[in-house]
Amino acid sequence: MSIRVARFLGWLWTRSVLLIACIVTVIPFLWLIASSFKSNEEFFRSTFLPMDGRRIAWERLTTEPFRRLFNELDFTNSLVNSIFLSSVTGVVATLCCAMGGYALAKFRFKGRGLCTALVLAAVLIPAPLIIAPTYQLLFRLDLLDSFAGLILPALAPAFGVFLFRQAIVSGVPNDLLEAARIDGAGEWRTFVTVVLPLVRPMIGTFLMITFLGMWNNFIAPQVVLQDPAKFPLSVAVAELRRGYYNDYGLQMAGTIISILPVMILFLVMQKDFVSGLTSGAVKA
């Protein structure tokens, strides 16, 4: 077998495997999209698109689920709530974690080791374990049923502080900080103009992680928020599934609405996200 044939077979094999993986990944999405344009009765009559003999029966598809979501169930409100919670938490938590990580990485102060150990220990505590105490604390602080009750506990996650600490330890030389200080930069200016640009990939990555984390956060909003007008999409979509009977078209339409914005955002931010994930993977 010549090298060209072997290369071609390798190319064909790779593409075939990728094509199969692609089909397996895409089919559920296609099914989701097709189902979101169906009435409950049609949902059970056809798996993908409704067929009339060999013809696709377009007339049996309906935009009613989307109309109901936005007109009757006020999904616009839930969409704005989700964007607000995710973006505000993402931006502020990234800033807080970067500052926390910088302090732990570059400042010498009494109890620094203990602080770092506490941050590491906090990473180990599973979130469901602290639902009841958090609920009690939020009640005492009068933060139940408020956005602040969700945002405040998420502002300085231990994971984020530790991530930035590691990024700053390995990516920000002490000499550079010394030089900035000798040139007369204050601590804030040093942080903004020297430290943040050096951990830029981490900012994009962590912002994306926090944004997605809050967007998909289900248990905390379900416990903390009580007014349906404040529900984010994750809870609003879950509320579409009722204890007794379900409107499947409506659920599928709700799911599409809830995944579309993050898909777009991921496409826009994928360069930052990937560069943050791979930074430090190869030693310079």
Partner 1 sequence: MEEQQDRIAGFLPEWLPPGAAIVTALAIGSTVMLLAGAARQTPNEKTMWTFARPHYLMYEPRIAAWNKSGRTPFDLRLLSLPAMERRMMASFLGDVPSADVLEVERRGVSRTFGGPVESVGFYDLTDKLKEEGLLEAINAPSFSPWTTRGHIFGLPHDVHPVMLGYRADLVEAAGIDVSKIETWEDFFREMKPLMADNDKDGKPDRFLLNMWETNQDHLEVLLLQAGGGFFDEQERPTLDSAINVRVLATITTWLAGPARVAADAPNFTAAGNKLKADGYVVSSFFPDWMGDIWKHEIPSLGGKMKLMPLPAWEKGGRRTSVWGGTMLGIPKTAVRTPKDFDVLWEFCKELYISDQFMRDLYREGGIVTPVKKYWSDPIFDEPNAFFSGQPAGRLYINLAPLVPNRNSSPYNTFAMYRTVDALVKLAEEARATGKYDMPTLESRAKVYLGEAQRQVENVLKRNVFLSGGAS
Among 99, 238, 259, 274, binds partner 1 (CB under 8 A): 238
CA distances from 152 to 116, 207, 284 (A): 21, 16, 38
Task: Single out the segment in contact with partner 1 by CB under 8 A; choices: 14-22, 155-163, 169-177, 204-212.
Answer: 204-212
Among 127, 169, 228, 260, binds partner 1 (CB under 8 A): 228
Among 36, 37, 42, 43, binds partner 1 (CB under 8 A): 43
Q: Is 188 in the site for partner 1 (CB under 8 A)?
A: no
Strands 55-56 and 51-52: what pairing? Answer: antiparallel
Q: Is 197 in the site for partner 1 (CB under 8 A)?
A: yes
Among 203, 233, 256, 257, binds partner 1 (CB under 8 A): 203
Q: At closest approach, how far in Å is the CB of 244 from partner 1?
A: 5
Rank residues 10 and 197 by Cβ distance to partner 1 and give the closer one. 197
Among 116, 166, 216, 222, binds partner 1 (CB under 8 A): 222
What's the rounded Cα separation, in Å, for the pair 86 and 96? 15
Q: Which of residues 263-282 bind partner 1 (CB under 8 A)?
A: 265, 268-269, 271-273
End-to-end CA distance of the chain: 40
Q: Is 186 in the site for partner 1 (CB under 8 A)?
A: no
Rank residues 37 and 273 by Cβ distance to partner 1 and give the closer one. 273
What's the rounded Cα separation, in Å, for the pair 115 and 162? 11
The vertex-217 CA angle with 214 and 223, nearest 5°, equals 120
Among 29, 44, 48, 58, binds partner 1 (CB under 8 A): 44
Task: Single out the segment in contact with partner 1 by CB under 8 A; choices: 14-22, 114-122, 139-147, 161-169.
Answer: 139-147
Place of tokens 């991530």: 163
Tokens of 197: 């640009």
- The percent helix, strand, coil of the chain (3-state, each to 5) is 75, 0, 25
- CA torsion, ordered 197, 202, 207, 210, to nearest 10 deg: -150
Long-range contacts of 276-283 (CB under 8 A, 24+ apart): 276/201, 276/202, 276/203, 276/204, 276/205, 276/206, 276/208, 277/205, 279/167, 279/171, 279/201, 279/202, 280/167, 280/170, 280/171
Residue ranges that bind partner 1, judged by CB under 8 A: 40-41, 43-44, 77, 80-81, 83-84, 87-88, 90-91, 94, 131-133, 135-136, 139-140, 147, 192-193, 196-197, 199-201, 203-204, 207-208, 211, 219, 222-223, 226, 228, 235, 238-239, 241-246, 248, 265, 268-269, 271-273
